[in-house]
Structure 1
């Protein structure tokens, strides 16, 4: 009976672990643009990254630390837009869990139209990642091309969150 109880506990733990798997929304450019406009009552931090981008992966712990600091503020929201391929969605989900990403993650499934949507986000963006855009009241207020330090991220948020 004791063995049966142990097996049952293990099985239930396994089921509940699987039930907690992270889901990643897949969107086209227009959906992300619409999402940015819907969050127009907040300072919205939108970071474009990929699991295969070393500078992106390096800066993510800073982003999570800052996200955790500000996430209770109703005027703040962080979204991480993954530029990984749709076929790599499972890898993105595992990455989110392994790195304990606390911000919302969206998988942008629109790689074929990059030359169309990149300049719509930012004319100065040459397509390299990481890139971070800051929106307030639905309007872009800051563009950061390249890796962002924790200090610069926090400073930019603090300047625009007022």
Structure 2
């Protein structure tokens, strides 16, 4: 994105807070799919823009998991029982999230589901051991990790239609 366009957004789409040497601004714009964006304005007219929604992550076994109040085993604000220990990689953004609610809160786009012909994709992260399961492994392994046998939440089956187009 060119600096001229960022400058136009910075001065025409939002109120700018702060003072020298830099100012922080937050705005929402339909062109950016209603995402929250931080623009840092440096002296001399230089801008840095970042999507604030994608910065909310934790590293789980060396893999970034995006969400809200995510713990070291992928539990989140929405699902946090002792068996809520998976994260799902969404095909729309190639990023792991603990649940569809976390995706809705931190991603700047709608959820896309995995198709029937993608069941060999590694898309499930075990929060207990870090093993990445294929969709086929996850759907057929009786709510447990195929590597460490940690139990997953069997109630997640009620939400398969949100993640998988089967």
TM-score normalized with structure 2 length: 0.28
Q: From the two aligned structures, give the one with the greater strand fraction.
A: 2
TM-score normalized with structure 1 length: 0.29
Report which structure shows greater RCO (CA 8 Å, sep ≥6): 1
User: In terms of Rg, which structure is larger?
Assistant: 2
